Amino acid sequence: MTTTDATTAAERYEIGDRDADGRYPVAVDGKPTGHIYRWHGGWYAVVPGQPEETRRDDKHAAAAHLVDLVDSGSVDPSAAPAGPPAAEAGIVPWLSPKLKPTRRNIISAAIALGRLAELAWTPRDGDGKVTGYPGADNPWTLTCELSGTVVVRWWSHLRGRNNDNTPRPEYRHEGCIPFEEQAGKVAAFVGEPVTACPCQQLTHPTTADAADDLLKQAERARRTDDTEALRQLLTQLLGPCPASSARGQAMKELKERGQRSKS
């Protein structure tokens, strides 16, 4: 609960610009104090060195909570400046550690990764690190394969709306190659679609039935806390593959099957 008067708190905190990870630095009384970020409709306040993250309804309420923490003595803004958060480690890099490896999240991630491959985007940041699928309405750091530029996008925008499959914005990003050249460059970069997994060490599913079988195995591994088995299964379901587009289409079919069975 925020105890500081909202008007008074607003005079004491300053919200900075969003960084590449989607977090906004907050200074209280002119001193770096913590971060706030949006996740699935809520806003969270984060203090360096403290694992607890507090949910609020909007960014100003989240920033005001940091004022409360300063006033309560829970955080000392005169200490070391609040730097960027430490990277979180998930079971595999292709799914955000904030998302549980449930059937629904795995299917959504596989569909998104398959479509990124078709659009010549790669889920990597400026350091070349893989950025896991974060959900449809959360910022996702991606690299444009046409220009090498790292930008933040939302999957809900890239997948299009009303089933038109047109990514937004249609112009990829500021500083990309000329708009009229983009479609041709994407087609040349992506090449002919690969319909079967050619990988030798680990087979990735490209049919709905094969994907369904692996998803069931993954769910069993998750429920029994068999992390090693789950890691291998998630690598098959989400890991890089020349046929990732076909895998995404198989996942789409599974998703549609599920929707039909509920109707």
How far does the chain reach from its first CA to its final CA, in angstroms? 41
Strands (E), the chain: 13-15, 23-28, 31-39, 42-46, 54-56, 121-122, 139-144, 150-154
The span from the CA of 112 to the CA of 153, in Å, is: 12
Residues in CB range of 251: below 8 A, 6 or more apart: 107, 110, 111, 114, 208, 211
- The encoded tokens of residue 30 equal 């002119």
- The answer to whether the beta carbons of residues 120 and 158 sit under 8 Å apart is no
CB atoms within 10 A of CB 68: 18
The pLDDT of residue 189: 94
Single-letter amino acid code for the residue at 29? D
pLDDT, one tens digit for every residue, the chain (263 residues): 445 566 677 788 898 887 766 778 888 888 888 888 887 678 888 887 666 677 888 889 888 888 888 888 777 666 544 454 445 568 999 999 989 999 999 999 999 999 999 999 999 999 999 999 999 888 899 999 999 999 999 999 898 876 677 888 888 998 899 999 999 999 999 999 999 999 988 999 999 999 999 999 999 999 999 999 999 999 999 999 999 999 999 999 999 988 877 76
